[in-house]
Amino acid sequence: MDERVNRNMGAAAAALDYDAELMLRVKEGDGASFNVLLDKYRSSVIHFLYRMIQNHAVAEELAQEVFLRVYRSRGTYEPTAKFTTWLFRIATHLALNSLRDGRNERSQERLDDNSDDLPARQVSDRHPTIEATLVYQARLEEVRTAIAALPQKQRAAVLMHKYEEMEYSQIAKVLTCSESAVKSLLFRAYETLRARLAHMA
Amino acid sequence: MNCPFESQEGSALLLAYSSRKLDAQAVAPLEQHLESCAVCRDFVRGQSAVWNALDLWEAAPVSADFDRRLYQRIEQQVSWWDMLVGPFRPAIRHALPLAAAAGVVIMAGILLDRPSAAPAVADTYGAQVEVLQPDQVEHALAEVEMLDQFNHLMRSDPADSNPKM
């Protein structure tokens, strides 16, 4: 009977998404499936948290906590939603808590000094001049400051929409609000960003 | 086509167009509208600029030892938990339904026992009243009789004593 339940759950998960099926395998003790999920989502979770918190070390620490929670919850996991919805709900929750606790204060102070957080290849691949590098850094700094100035929920919504390419419905599930509320959040956020960044066109 | 800028749905449409995520079918009518609507054109131009600006921000690469640190933490947690629970896991799995059933039975027992406790208290009081009441009445009557005698003595005392004085 257990096998039949597992098979049914597996089928439901597969219909829902392949990641949920992998997570069900993790639930059954398959460590390799956890590794597949980690490989698949490590970067996007870290990058999302990094853009939320704007501190690389804290973002990685929080990402570790996200995957640790995923692993710890494997026993009670039920594929009721897309795996990524669940994953980003955990990530967003941790990020918002961290922002509330002020754990990222160090990063906010470091907004002026972004040299550590710059992806090296951006400037090295094209062999830019010093002037081009400075212009790039100034523009990047403007983007980071504009994002950091957004209210936390708007920020999360923009990051999920822009960088994770999530649908409105999925963002709504992550933020536990209505789809219409997400549209409104995004519209306000992008309008704020337009006011700050439109001159960069 | 109505101006999309005037509704939430329309704004979402403009955002989708600016972020190059709009369905191909919806692009043509919107572009036709943009030719005649300066407000929407400005909005799209601004949002496209935002979209391009956001593209500048690439996240830093992930630390090389991220996985190692994570698996180390997982191993620590798992070994700690296994040390505590591991040997008892089969027993726990079988005993858990029994423990839950026992809990339900105990709770039911407590709940069923509770209503009988209240009348028992009331009965005790009733019995106390029945047993004590005659004594109390007897005492009270004796006291009334004593007071009556005392009053009688007090009233008779002055009459007897005055002639003696």
Instruction: Return the H-helix or E-strand segment holding B148.
Output: helix B89-164
Q: Are residues A168 and A90 in the same domain?
A: no
pTM of the model: 0.69
Q: Which two tokens stand for residue B55?
A: 């593209």
Count, residues in chain B? 165
> CATH number of the domain that A18 lies in?
1.10.1740.10
Which of A76, A107, A138 is a domain's end point? A107
Average pLDDT, rounded, for chain B: 75
Q: Does B142 have pLDDT greater than 80?
A: no
Q: Which residue of A has its CA nearest to B64?
A: A60
In chain B, where the domains are located: 4-55, 88-157
Q: Which of B63, B66, B74 sits opposite A68 (nearest CB)?
A: B74
pLDDT tens by residue, B50-68: 999 999 998 888 999 999 9
Q: How far apart are CA B45 and CA B27, in angstroms?
A: 15
Q: Are residues A99 and A168 in the same domain?
A: no
Q: Does B5 have pLDDT greater than 80?
A: no
CB contact under 8 A, A60 and B61: no
Structural domain boundaries enclosing A162: 149-201
Contacts of B37 (CB under 8 A, 6+ apart): B3, B5
Residue B127's pLDDT band, with cuts at 50, 70 and 90, is very low
Let me know if residue A129 belongs to a domain.
no
CB-CB neighbors (< 8 A) of B54 in chain A: 143, 147, 162-163, 193, 197
The whole-number average pLDDT for the span B119-134 is 50
pLDDT profile of chain A (201 residues), mean per 10:
48 68 92 95 96 94 96 90 94 95 58 48 63 90 95 97 94 96 93 88 67
Q: How far apart are CA A169 and CA A192, in angstroms?
A: 22
Instruction: Return the H-helix or E-strand segment holding B63.
Output: none
Q: Find tokens 């001159």 and name the residue.
A: A199
CB-CB neighbors (< 8 A) of B14 in chain A: none
Q: Which of B46, B57, B70 sits opposite A194 (nearest CB)?
A: B46
Q: Are residues A91 and A21 in the same domain?
A: yes
Q: Which residue of B has its CA nearest to A47?
A: B59
pLDDT tens by residue, B70-120: 999 988 876 666 667 656 666 666 777 778 888 888 888 888 776 554 544
CB contact under 8 A, B60 and A64: no
Q: Which of B45, B59, B60 sits opposite A201 (nearest CB)?
A: B45
Q: Which of B15, B57, B67 sits opposite A186 (nearest CB)?
A: B15
* pLDDT score at B90: 61
* Model-level ipTM above the cut of 0.90: no
* pLDDT score at B23: 87
Say how many domains are in chain A.
Answer: 2
Q: Are residues A102 and A176 in the same domain?
A: no
CB contact under 8 A, A43 and B62: yes
Instruction: Return the H-helix or E-strand segment holding A34.
Output: helix A31-53
* pLDDT score at A201: 67
Let me know if residue A141 belongs to a domain.
no
Let me know if residue A130 belongs to a domain.
no
Which of A90, A107, A124 is a domain's end point? A107
CB contact under 8 A, A201 and B48: yes
> CATH number of the domain that A153 lies in?
1.10.10.10
* pLDDT score at A46: 97
Q: Are residues A30 and A97 in the same domain?
A: yes
> Which is higher by pLDDT, B43 or A92?
A92
Q: Are residues A154 and A68 in the same domain?
A: no
Q: Where are the alpha helices (DSSP H) in B19-88?
A: 24-36, 38-55, 66-85
Q: Which residue of B has its CA nearest to A116?
A: B60
Let me know if residue A78 belongs to a domain.
yes
Q: Are residues A88 and A2 in the same domain?
A: yes
CB-CB neighbors (< 8 A) of A187 in chain B: 8, 11-12, 15
CB contact under 8 A, A200 and B8: no
3-state SS string over A58-119? HHHHHHHHHHHHHHHHHHHCCCCCCHHHHHHHHHHHHHHHHHHHCCCHHHHHHHHCCCCCCC
Lowest mean pLDDT among A188-197, B33-42, B58-67, B143-152: B143-152
Q: How far apart are CA A121 and CA A118, in angstroms?
A: 9
